[in-house]
């Protein structure tokens, strides 16, 4: 799956016939920060325990670039549809 993440552009997420996200990888990594760390972050849109720590998907507030995680992105978008609309309407 990791190799696929480098090939897909744009990423489109659809749920119940609604397009929740249609953005390039560049746009997504400008808006989201994917952190792989030892702790779950309370400000994360989505967190998942992984071997060696947690994947945290957060709004990118000047944190720089990060490596996209499609599964984490998918779960963050499904759980935060209003926030996603606001981030990508700007």
The pTM (predicted TM-score) of the whole model is: 0.87
pLDDT of 38 strictly over 80: yes
pLDDT tens for each residue of 7-34: 678 999 999 999 999 999 999 999 999 9
- Please, which residues bridge with residue 56 across strands? 35, 47
pLDDT score for 22:
94
Domain that holds residue 30: 2-89
Report the C-alpha gap between 79 and 74 in whole angstroms: 9
Number of structural domains (the chain) is 1
Under the banding of pLDDT at 50, 70 and 90, the label for residue 4 is: low
Average pLDDT (54-79) is: 95
**Residue length, the chain?**
90
């Amino acid at each position: 799956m990791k190799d696929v993440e480098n090939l897909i552009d744009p990423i489109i997420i659809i749920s119940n016939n609604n397009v929740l996200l249609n953005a390039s990888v560049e746009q997504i990594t400008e808006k989201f920060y994917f952190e792989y760390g030892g702790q779950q972050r309370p400000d994360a849109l989505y967190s998942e325990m992984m071997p060696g720590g947690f994947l945290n998907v957060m709004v990118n507030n000047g944190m720089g670039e990060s490596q996209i995680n499609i599964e984490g992105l998918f779960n963050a978008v499904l759980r935060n549809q209003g926030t996603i609309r606001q981030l990508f309407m700007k």
